[in-house]
A and B are shown apart, each in its own frame.
Chain A
Amino acid sequence: MTTPGTEADLLARVISGDRGAFDSIMRVQENRVFSVCLRILGNRENALDATQETFLTVFRKAAQFKGDSALGTWIYRIAVNTCYDQIRKSARKPTESIPDHLEPPDASAEDAIEAAGLRPEIERALAGLPPEFRAAVVLSDLEGMSLPETAEVLGIPVGTVKSRVFRGRRLLAERLGNQTMRSDHQRDTDA
């Protein structure tokens, strides 16, 4: 993690056109930005796109960083907003028509879920949460940010974060409970 002094120096150099300074910032933050995007979007390819878009925005808006939060917090806020944009865009895309005959389940789809680094049932449950709840749970419970840090990244009051984390976990519990019951039922049926 870079110190505030280093961060200010690096950003000043980025603003003056020093690409090496930008590269240093990127190398420090890229894995965590990618992790946040991956957990919110649930797909490595989309997460990679969002990570790239995040750093493009950081480069373009470096001069707008006022220093009233840590550089990392500012970058994660951009990352979360980029993910929200991507979710909105994909929601607007017209859904493809269902083919007449359904293909058999694709084993690679399961691999893709596991590629997100979470257990498949957790990944599925997380993907079913509304984006705002998902982001709060990802930052707080998966990325280990404190509630005030999460509030700063999301740009909302701590009380609202608590509410979103609470409701997000509750929905996750419901979904995980249902999935557990379904897999127990499946095991019983198979036996």
Chain B
Amino acid sequence: MHDHDLDLIVSLADGSLDDQAEARARVESCQECRLEYEAQILVLAALAGTESATLTEFEKAALHRDLWTELRKEPGKNATTTPWWYRLSYAAAGLFVVVGLVAVANQLGGGDDAGQAEAFSEVSSGLDEASGQDAAAPTSPTGGETESATQSTVAAAGDGAPTTVGSTSEETATFAALAAETRMQQLPPTVRTAPTADQAACLTEAGLEDHEVVGTVDKDRTYLIAVPAGVDLDTETPVTFVDAETCQVVHVED
């Protein structure tokens, strides 16, 4: 059989020929062509009505979970390239520190200058806001405000509210990125791994009895990633990070 005949038969079977006259004539006049055409029609009929396969919800969740796990390990530019907003947060943190140091130096060098004192006060409150502390809290002119941007201190406790530890803008950006990643995995509750007894106890200690652990992240320390128990993860889910050692909430991403 010639290639031309093959083309005609495939196209005739597909119904993709505008002018079928030549193909029909060929099929009718050539026994081999007719048998081939019938075989093609037989297969198309057998395949007709077959719908596309779809992923089950479970498979979809597993696919997303495994894929993001792999992407997190990527050494390449895409997975670990620091996004622009993330780099910006580094720059902002650096700028705060430099401005703070300049303000401290000015304060120590000429404390009687009212203008300098005013500038120092502004920088202090800016740093306090960045570190999540009360701007009205007393500040030390000896560099304490600079430390407040890099040290973690307990900011709120009691009344059954989760204990939250202040964090720097850099840490805040890191947790925000991790929270976004966690939400993107969109795991339904059915596919989550049950938290260990230690993790559950840690959440209770942190005042998060109504939360569950969906994962952990190792940075300088290990943090538990907690979400409200029994909810499907989506872009609105609040994600909370708890220090696995101290059981203190280090970041809440609403």
Where the two chains meet, the residues of A that have a C-beta atom closer than 8 Å to any C-beta of B are 14-20, 23, 26, 30-32, 34-35, 38-39, 44, 47-48, 51-52, 55-56, 59-60, 62, 116-119, 122, 141-143, 146-147, 159, 162-163, 165-166, 169-170, 172-174, 176-177
Contacts and interface: CB of A to CB of B under 8 A. Distances in A.
Interface string B1-29: 00100110111011010000000000000
B62 to A, nearest CB: 7
A159 B6 CA distance: 10
Contacts of A35: 52-54
A163 B6 contact: yes
Interface string B44-75: 10110011111100011011101100110010
B78 A59 contact: yes
Nearest to A164: B10
Contacts of B53: 31, 34-35, 38-39, 47, 116-117
B55 A170 contact: no
A162 B11 CA distance: 8
A63 B187 CA distance: 29
A34 B56 CA distance: 11
Contact of A169 (B16, B39, B55, B59): B39
A52 B66 contact: yes
Contacts of B95: none
B67 A60 contact: no
Contacts, number: 114
A32 B67 contact: no
Q: Is the interface of B mostly helix, strand, loop or mixed?
A: helix
Contact of B71 (A47, A56, A141, A176): A56
B181 to A, nearest CB: 7
A163 B3 contact: yes
Nearest to A138: B47
Contact of B83 (A16, A56, A170, A172): A16
Which 9 A-B pairs give the minimum distances between C-beta atoms? A173-B39, A117-B53, A35-B53, A35-B52, A169-B43, A17-B83, A172-B43, A38-B53, A17-B81
Contact of A170 (B40, B59, B63, B79): B40
Contacts of B44: 141, 169
B115 interface: no
Contact of B47 (A20, A31, A47, A141): A141
Contact of A31 (B7, B10, B55): B55
B184 A20 contact: yes
